[in-house]
Amino acid sequence: MTRSTLRLLLASVVAALALVVAACGGSDSSGSSSSSSSGGGASSETGQPKTGGTLRQLGSSDVDYIDPGHTYFTTGYVLAYAIGRPLYGFKPDTADPVPDVAADKPQISDDLKTVTVKIKPGIKFGPPVNRAVTSKDIKYAFERFFSVNVGGQYATYFSSIQGAPKSPTKGVKSISGITTPDDQTIVFKLSRPEAVVVSAALVMPITMPVPEEYAKKFDAKNPSTYNTHVVATGAYMIKNDAQGNLTGYKPGKSIDLVRNPNWDKSTDFKPAYLDAISWTTNEADASISAQQVLTGSHMTLEGNPPAAQLKDAVLNRKGQWQQVPAGGFRYFPMNTTIKPLDNINVRKAIIAGFDRDAALKARGGKFTGDIPTHFLPPGIPGFEEAGGAAGPGYDFLKNPRGDMNLATQYMKKAGFPSGKYTGNANLLLVTANADPNKAQGEVAKAQIEKLGFKVTLRTVPQDAVYTEWCQVPKKQVAICGASGWFKDFTDPQSMLDPTFKGANIAKNGGNNNLAQLDDPKIDAAMDKAAGLQGDERNKAWAEIDKMITADAPAVPFDWDKSTNIWSKDVIGVANRYQTEMDFNFTGLK
Amino acid sequence: MGPYIIRRLLYMVVVLLFVTAITFLIFFVLPTADPAALRAGRSPTPETLAAIREQLGLDKPLPVQFWLYLKALVLHFDFGNSFVNNVDVRSLIFDRLPNTLFLIVGAAILWFIGGVTIGTISAVKRGTVLDRAAMGTALVAISAPVYWFGLVSLYLFASDIGRFPVFPGSGAYQDAHGFFAKIPTLILPWIVLAAAFAAVYARLTRSNLLEVMSEDYVRTARAKGLTERRVVVRHGLRAAITPVVTVLGLDLGILVGGAILTESVFGIPGIGRLSFDAIQRGDLVTVQGCTLFLAFAVVFMNLVVDILYAFLDPRVRY
């Protein structure tokens, strides 16, 4: 073999190896998460920001999509809510939605099968559309969401709308259950009595108006190219040209936002102080960006700062940070169909002995989250009714560092006289192969083994943890080591129904009830609570939360918090819905 | 020379086909997770997954998928669209290529001139304090991880967060507009990227030159009465530098595929940063595109190096 041939082969092997490394890598994003990280705390400075100026946001990753019909991750939401207006939005200091494009609260029929929303007059699309928004624009936004070309990612919340496609459609199809009796009214007819949940979900980007006459030529393409032609309704817009091409969006590099000239302050509750936002999406090392933000001028950081800068901000930089609850929980679900985890006392023993503080430290410690005492997280209605931070008071969740004496007692109750497991079962624990999920998985293995269990730890790429393992019941995963569930909207049903309802167990994959908890009493209580509204609803779901916690289906170890930081000459405001900076309320001093 | 270049170009095509097949197999046969499931969002139905597979063309038999991929690649130089954000991978790569080239060409000039000069002086002054100091420094530079060195240089010299604010810091490259405006923003990245390479080149040049200087023809040159400088530069260095150029070719080829660490630390939107982001997001179509581009660059630079041999080393004939 010649020298040249050898080198050529070497080159090809190097290239192939590079791809193997890449293929074995994976995203650290939670597969079931739409929000990033939870609890709350703040040292944000109050005061009136000045009007005008340019804010620079430093981010290390791009948005997933700009298209409101397609985006489903935190960074995408930050952008979506700056340039688009949903039917219902959020003020920064409250978890309750307020009307945005909508004129008032949704009207829900007595049979819970019809939702009627009136929309405000005088809201206009930005350039190049420049016309008033009507209810038909929202109907079209829903219909295109179900098109495979657009790729809407949370159809499940709207599957009860009459005529909603069961699978993605080829092209945009009309949905019979959505009607627009006039330009200011949209009506959702449901095939099931799920009006409460559908109403709660009307805060999602799917409700942002999309002008059909402008978007249909983009939506006809596969995939839709509306993503790079999105037209604004919000206070800001991405710079574009006369044809609507988003010239201010450079994938993986930057997003330039300017004011939407057609935005009318009188129609909106958002102050929108800034003139422009220059958002870089490829910043270098997170510690460098965070340092630049804390010591620099007119900057905010996208995402949580690394531990050193987080500590610096919290301890030394009053007025430059804010923590908001991420509205989710991280947990180690225990498969209740696998022996000996089918024994409730074994599960209680594991939780009782588990040092959950160690698991939280593996994710960054107290600055990144609080140790839960139940499942419904802070920021979600029903949290206080479920016991708040103190929780319902179950003994096995009392000591965050673990109580081996109590664990031993539960093991004895489970039929193990020595207080330790003496059987032959080998428990499969699956986690991601990259930190922090790898580290927390290793903590879980050590904690469970304290009680004499044999645990096999399997680390897999993050993107495979859910789809190939934890969500596939036939894989017989005993404990999932990298799972979390975060809100899509602020409703307790959306937190507990998919994750702990027995009827939702999907045997063939895509299962979100990772513990496979199948308690008929809990299912019945959920069915009843689904139709309730207001305080009654919150109380009912809080009781369900207590029932689930009493069944000990998982070890909850983190109510995530999201920390936002900014420069000293910025008055930063974090949004409790998408948990990141809110450009509509943030301003300069 | 002509037939040789044609033969090598044919080799190049074969190797690239081989790499394309391997990368395709790794991506489509051995994926860690179903790309459709990753794209489908929360609680997708089997029908949703099927529709996405159809949209992405993942429902077709593997040979058909490979054929379509190859056809698009060969006929249109089309790497496909990212599964993550639908963006055309080719445009992503070519959009970033100038930035990567700007970074590596500047750094290569620094490290090549610096490394060869230091290596030559070290070889000529063998055993002296100067030689030991140069080789000791080279050892430190080789041992220092690029990422660490980059961070330290920013914390020391960046105009925004540095202790001694001298050079533009991370992210400055992207903010600067125009060729000349970008140059100052690349001083730190050039130094950081060049440091480890320069050290390797210095050691390589030194050892090659020491070997060459003991050759008979060098003794003959000295015997002819040539000045020592002429002996070293014309007779010694010319032969000693050939392996260094080989390494330079390979290094440049690999770096065209992306100086991942330097681009990441300094916020330079190059191909390395693109690969890094794609790996983090599990965007394997983009990773695949970057990998193929890397393979192409390495193979191409090999060809360039082999052709250069003929000019640098009079003993080489094709």
Instruction: Give me the residue from B12, B32, B295 closest to A24, CB to CB.
Output: B32
Which of B11, B45, B264 lies closest to A8 in CB terms? Answer: B11
The reply to whether residue A11 touches residue B295, judged by beta carbons under 8 angstroms, is yes
Q: Which residue of chain A has the CA closest to B23?
A: A16
- pTM to 2 decimals? 0.84
Amino acid identity for residue B101 in this structure: L
pLDDT recorded at residue A43: 60
Q: Running DSSP on this structure, what letter comes out for residue B231?
A: I
Q: How many CB atoms lie within 10 A of CB A318?
A: 12
pLDDT beneath 50: ranges in chain B: none
d(CA A531, CA A542): 15
Smallest Cα distance from A545 to chain B, Å: 21
Please check whether residue B43 is in contact with residue A510, taking contact to mean a CB–CB distance below 8 angstroms. yes
Dist. CA A168–CA B101, nearest whole Å = 43
Alpha-carbon gap: A207 to the closest alpha carbon of chain B (Å): 17
B86-121 residue pLDDT tens: 788 999 999 999 999 999 999 999 999 999 999 999
Residue from A235, A149, A159, A139 nearest A201 by CA: A159
Q: Answer yes or no: do A62 and B85 touch at CB < 8 A.
A: yes
Q: What is the pLDDT of residues A473-503, one digit of tens each?
A: 999 999 999 999 999 999 999 999 999 999 9
H or E segment to which residue B62 belongs: helix B62-76
Mutate to test the interface with B, among A4, A8, A33, A246 (most CBs of B within 10 A): A8
State whether B151 and A288 contact (CB < 8 Å). Answer: yes
Give the per-residue pLDDT at B317: 63
Which H/E stretch holds residue A486? strand A483-486
pLDDT at A25: 32
Q: Is the pLDDT of residue A4 over 50?
A: no
Rounded Cα–Cα distance for residues B259 and B264 (Å): 8
Query: Residue A77 pLDDT > 70, yes or no?
Result: yes
Q: Is the pLDDT of residue A412 over 60?
A: yes
CA of A183, closest CA in chain B: separation in Å?
Answer: 32
Alpha-carbon span A461 to A473, nearest angstrom: 18
Q: Calculate mean pLDDT across residues A444-467.
A: 91
User: Would you say B48 and A167 are in contact if contact means Cβ atoms under 8 Å apart?
Assistant: yes
Residue A405 confidence (pLDDT): 97
Please confirm whether the linkage preceding A99 is cis (ω < 30° from 0).
no
Q: Check CB contact under 8 Å for A28 and B280.
A: yes
Chain A residue numbers with beta carbons less than 8 Å from the beta carbon of B269 are 252-253, 282
Q: What angle do CA B104, B110, B112 make, to 5 degrees?
A: 95
Percent share of chain A, pLDDT over 70 = 92
Residue of chain A whose Cα is closest to the Cα of B88: A251
Please tell me the distance in Å from B299's CA to the nearest CA on chain A: 6
| CA distance linking residue A227 with residue A65, whole number of Å | 7
Quick one: what percent of chain A has pLDDT higher than 90?
Answer: 77
Tens-digit pLDDT profile for residues A117-135: 999 999 999 999 999 999 9
Match 């309802």 to its residue by tokens: A501
Query: Does position A101 have pLDDT exceeding 60, yes or no?
Result: yes
Tally of CA atoms within 13 A in the half-sphere of A580 that contains its CB: 25
Mean pLDDT of A12-28: 36
Comparing CB atoms, the residue among A222, A251, A285 nearest residue B55 is: A222
Strands A479-480 and A426-432, bridge-based pairing: parallel
Q: What is the pLDDT of residues A266-292, one digit of tens each?
A: 999 999 999 999 999 888 778 889 999
Q: How far is A430 from chain B (nearest CA, A)?
A: 14
Quote the DSSP letter at residue A304: P
Q: Do residue B302 and residue A7 have CB atoms under 8 angstroms apart?
A: yes
Kind plus residue range of the DSSP H or E element containing A220: none
Q: How far apart are the first and last CA of chain B?
A: 5
Cis peptide before A193 (omega within 30 of 0): no
Position with higher pLDDT, A299 vs B77 = A299
DSSP bridge partners of A178: A188
Q: Are A275 and A53 in contact (CB under 8 A)?
A: yes
Query: Which pLDDT score, from 0 to 100, does residue A84 have?
Result: 98
pLDDT of residue A35 exceeding 60: no
Question: Does the beta-carbon distance from A11 to B51 stay under 8 Å?
Answer: no
Q: In sequence order, what are the residues at sequence separation of 6 or more whose Cβ sits closer than 8 angstroms to the Cβ of residue B118?
A: B134, B138, B198, B202, B205
Which residues in chain A have Cβ-Cβ distances shorter than 8 Å to B44?
510
Chain A residue whose CA is closest to B161: A292
Residues A228-256 have a mean pLDDT of 96
- Nearest CA among B101, B139, B87, B195 for reference residue A66: B87
Q: How crowded is residue A107: how many other Cβ atoms within 10 Å of its Cβ? A: 14
Q: Which residues pair with A249 in a beta bridge?
A: A255
| 3-state per-residue secondary structure call for A491-553 | CHHHHHHHHHCHHHCCCCCCCCCCCCCCCHHHHHHHHHHCCCCHHHHHHHHHHHHHHHHHHCC
Are B15 and A167 inside 8 Å of each other by CB? Answer: no
Give me the pLDDT at residue A2, please: 37
Tell me how far apart the terminal alpha carbons of chain A are, to the nearest angstrom. 70
User: What is d(CA B299, CA A342) in angstroms, rounded to the nearest whole number?
Assistant: 58
Spatial distance between the Cα atoms of A199 and A205, rounded to a whole number of angstroms: 13
Nearest to B294 among A18, A23, A464 (CB): A18
Task: Say which DSSP state B159 is in.
Answer: T
* pLDDT for position A282: 81
Tell me what pLDDT residue A274 has.
Answer: 98
Q: Which of chain B's residues have a Cβ under 8 Å away from the Cβ of A15? A: 19, 22-23, 291-292, 294-295, 298
- The secondary element (H helix, E strand) that includes residue A560 is strand A554-565
pLDDT at A463 over 50: yes
Select from B8, B30, B84 the Cβ nearest to the Cβ of A23. B30
Q: What is the mean pLDDT of the segment spanning A94-117?
A: 94
- The reply to whether residue A252 touches residue B273, judged by beta carbons under 8 angstroms, is yes
Per-residue pLDDT of A535-583, as tens digits, reads 999 999 999 999 999 999 999 999 999 999 999 999 999 998 889 999 9
What is each CA distance from B196 to A251, A380, A392, B142, B192, in whole angstroms?
31, 52, 59, 5, 8
| pLDDT of the residue at B49 | 82
**B264, A167: Cβ pair inside 8 Å?**
no
Report the C-alpha gap between A100 and B56 in whole angstroms.
36
pLDDT greater at residue A516 or residue A434: A516
Cis bond before residue A492 (omega within 30° of 0): no
| Residues on chain B touching A283 (C-beta within 8 angstroms) | 170-171, 267
pLDDT for residue A41: 63
State the pLDDT confidence band at A81, using cuts at 50, 70 and 90.
Answer: very high
Please give the Cα distance from A467 to A445 (Å, whole number): 21
Residues 6+ apart with CB under 8 A from A114: A108, A187, A188, A189, A190, A195
pLDDT band at A406 (very low <50, low <70, confident <90, very high): very high
Q: Are A576 and A41 in contact (CB under 8 A)?
A: no
State how far the alpha carbon of A192 is from the alpha carbons of A188, A266, A530, in Å: 12, 37, 11
pLDDT computed for residue A223 by the predictor = 86
pLDDT of residue A366: 84
CB A582 within 8 A of CB A574: yes
Burial (CB count within 10 angstroms: exposed 0-12, middle 13-18, buried 19+), residue A45: middle
Flag whether pLDDT at A9 surpasses 90: no
DSSP state of A191: S
What letter represents residue B56's amino acid? L
From chain A, the residues in CB contact with B316 under 8 A are: none
Q: What is the pLDDT of residue A18?
A: 37
Q: Are residues B267 and A156, on separate chains, in Cβ contact within 8 Å?
A: no
Contact A22 B84 (CB under 8 A): no
When comparing pLDDT for B259 and A183, which is higher? A183
Which residues from A are below 8 Å from B84, CB to CB? 64
| Phi, psi at B67, each rounded to 5° | -60, -45
Q: Is ipTM over 0.85?
A: no
Compute CA distances A579 → A576, B61, B281, whole Å: 5, 43, 20
Cβ atoms of B141 and B195 within 8 Å: the answer is yes
- To the nearest whole Å, the CA of B288 is away from the closest chain A CA by 7
**Between A and B, how many residue pairs show a Cβ–Cβ distance under 8 A?**
215
* Residue B284: closest C-alpha in chain A: A23
